[in-house]
Structure 1
Amino acid sequence: MILVYLLAAVLITACLLWAYFTAQRLNRLHIRTDSARQALQAALDRRAVLVGALLPNAGEASRRAEMIPLEYSRFLQRARAEREISELILQHGTALPDSIIDAATRVELAHRFYNEAVSDTRNLRTRIAVRSLRLGGTAPLPEYFELLDTDLLD
């Protein structure tokens, strides 16, 4: 009988430890996703500033893009504003300043890092055990940010 109690205690302890470490990992993934989102916003803002300063007729579009924060509720608006900036870059032709090309490359990298962080977080958050134990807490499920022009300067 004591062996059954001991086995039950070990099993319960193992489940509690798994839940604790999974919640910690999920917390770190959310922090990583938030950091990647902030880095993506900084890269998008930097590109918008450079495009507004260096390309004619792009000032208004870059200001509009900068005014839209990169929040989950405004992803579509920001993507549309970024698309407008990309179209202005394409209209300029192939003789782009190096700083704009560098900024566009940084946007692509930040976009890729952000979507990878979202993918990792969503993969863990959508597991049945994690959802049923509510290990994600009250944090919103992160969303992918789709840039409409990822192959802009190829």
Structure 2
Amino acid sequence: MSSTVILVETIAVIAALGALVWLAVLAATRATRLDRLNVRVDLAYESLIAALERRAVVARTIAAINADSPASSELADAATIAESAPRGQREDAENRLSVALASMSTVNREPALVAELADAQTRVTMARRFYNDAVRDARTLAGRRMVRWLHLGGHSKLPDYFEITERVRGGS
């Protein structure tokens, strides 16, 4: 064999090894990013649940203050159901709580309670947006060809969006 052939074969082997190393580094960075995004989704979900639970506490306070109203027991029940609902049924339970909150009369409601409810609603809105942004980013990366082909996400299920009606108009 001539030295030219050996040189060409050596260069080809080095190029192939370089491509494999590049692919391995790229796969590792994508897997790490996907893991970080999944952690972000989990943390955002916990924040969302905390905001929803705070809203439920405010709803129960409104129900307790307006105990003479026929809608107050419905509101208290909706808050309790929303807090204890499993993850798959949480959206529906939170939507029922939103409707129950809207059905309560706002007449003679203490300004502090109005402010507390508005703050709770705002926190739910923000937490839901942060969560859904994290879900979107994780789903986008998990949908990339390399991530799918190399199974960089393992066999984990893609996170789902959390869609609720945050504010329902109503009340008197």
SS of equivalent to 2:80 = helix
Alpha-carbon offset, residue 92 of structure 1: 2.5
| Other-structure match for 1:100 | 117
> Computing the radius of gyration over CA atoms, which structure comes out larger, 1 or 2?
2
| Other-structure match for 2:166 | 150
**Contact 2:98–2:167 under 8 Å retained in 1:** no
| Other-structure match for 1:138 | 155
- TM normalised by structure 2 equals 0.80
> Partners of 1:150 and 1:28 in 2: how far apart?
28
Percent of aligned pairs sharing the same letter: 37
- The one-letter amino acid of 1:144's match is Y
SS of equivalent to 1:146 = coil
Alpha-carbon offset, residue 94 of structure 1: 5.0
Does 1:31 pair with 2:52? no
User: What is the correspondence of 1:83-98 to structure 2 with a 5 Å cutoff?
Assistant: 83-93=95-105, 97-98=114-115
Does 1:22 pair with 2:30? yes
| Other-structure match for 1:123 | 140
| Other-structure match for 2:127 | 110
The CA deviation string for residues 102-122 of structure 1, in whole angstroms up to 9 with x for no partner, is 000000000000000000000
Gaps of 5+ in 1: none
> Partners of 1:2 and 1:93 in 2: how far apart?
81
> Partners of 2:106 and 2:125 in 1: how far apart?
18
- The one-letter amino acid of 1:84's match is R
The CA deviation string for residues 16-70 of structure 1, in whole angstroms up to 9 with x for no partner, is 000011000000000000100111111111101110122341211111111114x
Given candidates 87, 90, 93, the residue that maps to 1:78 is: 90
Mean CA deviation greater in 109-118 or 53-62: 53-62
Distance of aligned partners of 1:151 and 1:59 in 2 relative to their CA distance in 1, 3 Å threshold: closer
**Contact 2:98–2:166 under 8 Å retained in 1:** no
Given candidates 6, 13, 17, the residue that maps to 2:14 is: 6
Mean CA deviation greater in 47-56 or 113-122: 47-56
- The one-letter amino acid of 1:9's match is L
Once superposed, what is the RMSD of the aligned Cα atoms? 1.6
The CA deviation string for residues 110-151 of structure 1, in whole angstroms up to 9 with x for no partner, is 00000000000000001121111000013221001111x235
SS of equivalent to 2:152 = coil
| Other-structure match for 2:50 | 42
What count of residue pairs does the alignment treat as equivalent? 147
SS of equivalent to 1:144 = coil
